[in-house]
Amino acid sequence: MADSVDEFEFFLEKPWSDGLPVVTPTEARLERFLKATKRDPNEVIGRIPPMMEPATVRTVAIHALMAGCKPEYLPVILGALPLMLREEFNMNGVQGTMHGVAPLMIVNGPYAQKIGIHGGNGCFGPGFRANASIGRAIRLLQQNLGGGLPGTGTMAMYGSMRYTNAVFAEDEEGLPPGWEPFNAAGMGYAP
């Protein structure tokens, strides 16, 4: 990129941003991100509707980087994306509806705590980098690889502020006595 080009303005002038500045995905930054996983950078995670462009480990890392994620957030996004691309999730419907819907990601367990995904008071509000940037990475993937742009890939009348910040941790320590965490009670996994 030429020195005369402002890197933030460059991305804001493209349809690659959500209207906010992005972290420039340099090769050095991308290399650091890819060290957070043992997966092949060219491995295809899935295709994001409606454009059905392939999401590879590399392109997921680029979008996570642009969204402001730390490298240690990458495994969460790589784990969540295939679930969001399952037929019963209906990502095509999520992308193309006229309603302001967005994926909601509940992350639980020790890794959520380790990387700082917040699940307590104000978890949908500002101030929680992991929550905000992981949700933003998913949104940028929906937009850039899926074509979920207003008026083309998504027909939401007004959109929604929830598009970029619908990630939180389950507050397992705050569960009432006798309650199991969602992954065990709701999904049938071991606690």
Q: What pLDDT score was predicted for residue 117?
A: 96
The pLDDT > 90 percentage for the chain reads 52
At 42-88, the pLDDT tens digits run: 999 999 999 999 999 999 999 999 999 999 999 999 999 999 999 99
At 159-175, the pLDDT tens digits run: 665 556 578 888 888 88
pTM of this prediction?
0.88
Q: In this structure, are residues 150 and 47 in contact, taking their beta carbons and an 8 Å threshold?
A: no
Q: Which of 9-18, 81-90, 143-152, 171-180 has the highest mean pLDDT?
A: 81-90
Q: What pLDDT score was predicted for residue 148?
A: 82
Q: What pLDDT score was predicted for residue 1?
A: 53
* Residue 143: pLDDT over 60: yes
Rounded to the nearest integer, the mean pLDDT of the chain is 87
Q: What pLDDT score was predicted for residue 116?
A: 96
Averaged pLDDT, 12-40: 92
Q: In this structure, are residues 145 and 48 in contact, taking their beta carbons and an 8 Å threshold?
A: yes
Q: Which of 13-22, 104-113, 147-156, 181-190 has the highest mean pLDDT?
A: 104-113
